[in-house]
Amino acid sequence: MQKKFKKKIDEIIRVNHAGEYGAQRIYSGQLKFSRKNSLKAKLKKIIEEEYEHYEYFNDAMIKKRTRPTLMSPIWHHGGYLLGVITSFMGEKYVNACTEAVEEVIVEHYEDQIKFLEKEGIERSMLKKIKKFQADEDTHKKSAITSNNENNETNPRLFKALTKNLTKIAIEISKKI
């Protein structure tokens, strides 16, 4: 691989590894403290998919000799705390959190897909990112549907805050 692409591929691997890890932590906190069995079942399925995503980027990190983000301890505790807090706030906030985070991730993956397609590199990674993007979009749509079916009001301020925090975490994890 050309040297100019190595840095960008390392960035993609590092940020996706961090993001998938953070997502697991959010959903783990939600799963542990949610009381509704149907919500727990949905969270278990999501965690399984997030773990698959994480494992792919963890393996890629080892193969490509990419260093992980130095922010992992913060994402570890911060993600779990966000999961716990939203769980205590109720299903509406669990779904709002999922919707906000996954919306940002779908857009984030779209940028990576465009880059990889334009440059014609890392075809196998491109295929995985497309699959993971579809999984994340399904998580987002499921959260929206759940809140709509339950006639839940849209916690706009919470979602805006969560989206912005997710965007900040992405930018930090790309570089640090």
Say if domain 3-175 classifies as CATH 1.20.1260.
yes
Rounded alpha-carbon distances, angstroms, from residue 86 to 34, 55, 166: 9, 26, 15
Give pLDDT, residue 149.
Answer: 75
Digit-coded pLDDT (tens) for 16-59: 999 999 999 999 999 999 989 999 999 999 999 999 999 999 99
What is the average per-residue pLDDT within 76-83?
A: 92
CB contact set of 56 (below 8 Å; sequence gap of 6+):
128, 132
CB-count burial class (<10 Å; 0-12, 13-18, 19+) for 56: buried
pLDDT, average across residues 131-137: 93
Domain residues of the chain, as ranges?
3-175
Rounded to two decimals, what is the model's pTM? 0.86
pLDDT higher than 70, residue 104 = yes
